[in-house]
Amino acid sequence: MSLIEKVINKKETSQTPIWLMRQAGRYLPEFKKIREKNPNFIKLCLNENLVQEITLQPLKRFNIDAAIIFSDILMLPYGIGQHVEFEKNFGPKLGELKDVDLSNMNEDKFVKKLSPVYNSFKTLSGHLQSKNKSLIGFTGAPWTILVYMLNKQSPKKELDSNLRDISENKKIIKVIIKYLKIHIKNQIKNGANIIQIFDSWAGLVENKYVGEMIYEPNAELVEFVKSLNVPVICFPRDTNDYIEFVNEVDPSVISLDYNVDIKNIVKNIKVPTQGNLDPNILLTNKDNIKKHTLNILENFKYHPHIFNLGHGVLPQTDPIMVDYLVNLVKDY
């Protein structure tokens, strides 16, 4: 059992485990070299050899406790036939959802299209098991996937009007959930021993729709993952109420953004926690990193906790600062 799995199972450990969201990718020089030669991001996510290499890059540099598969939450819309591309200095661009022939899509076609992703898990799983490290698979949450599929790009801070028709959107959510379950099942089947669900745009949902768009879909996925005997981490970024989310969804672990009051979380949440250093702190200096890191570690001293960031590693982050952070946590 890896250190992270021990914490999830609320066993005592002598160290706090650590991994970082977006640990494999855009801030590492070795990744940048690969990316320069592979400008098509979707094709890169489907290149089994490079996915394995990129996934392991941070473990070669840092004493972290898990690898997270190098992939993207938008592999789901790609898998069901929506056009997805990534434009430099802009981000994702998706095609019109009306052009997607969902009536012609089925599980076999979906799995075949994403088979390189699942094949990547097989080799990685054996390698990481021998080192007693976790292999994390992931998906976007139904609401967040819906936002991208309808908005066709990152929404930033506002929603298009077509995202406000709840009755119509619930039909699409059902399709998304169906294929997310297939996606999760195949990641686990091929070696993922933890699943993280990213609800990156949870904070954009109006309060009156939080139950329908956030709690219910996430709860359905959490129940599904648990039925496969694998723990599930939920990250409902910028949600208005982490405590209510945990009560309604019951994840194995709740991952926290960097805006939360951690003293309140420790008092009111019983499940293990993950997070929540502001990634901007890594752009400052070692003294500042140490101050904020120790504050988090002290607050979660008597609560099962996995150290992480409150969002992904920023592209301009110096790997030396990441190494400093990891060693701080490991030496605590």
Q: Give the burial string for 35-59 (b: 16+ CB within 10 Å, else e).
A: beeeeebeebbbbbebbbbbbbbbb
Rg (CA), the chain: 19
Task: Please report, for the chain, how many H helices and E strands are present, in that order.
Answer: 15, 9
**Cα separation, 111 vs 76, whole angstroms:** 10
Length of the chain: 332
Residue among 150, 143, 48, 6 nearest 92 (CA) = 150
- Strands (E) across 66-210 are located at 66-68, 84-87, 91-94, 134-140, 194-198
Tell me the one-letter amino acid at 26: R
Sign for the pseudo-dihedral over CA of 216, 227, 251, 137: negative
In this predicted model, what pLDDT tens digit does every residue of 162-201 receive, in sequence order? 666 777 788 899 999 999 999 999 999 999 999 999 999 9
pLDDT under 70 in the chain at which residues? Answer: 157-164
| Model pLDDT, residue 157 | 60
Q: Quick one: fold of 3-331?
A: TIM Barrel (3.20.20)
Q: Residue 99 is encoded by which pair of tokens? A: 């052009």
pLDDT at 206: 86
Q: At 254, give phi and psi (nearest 5°).
A: -110, 125
pLDDT at 11: 94
Tokens of 128: 């990481």
DSSP three-state, residue 229: coil
Per-residue pLDDT at 169: 86
Q: From CA 244, how far away is CA 259, in angstroms rounded?
A: 16
| pTM, full prediction | 0.96
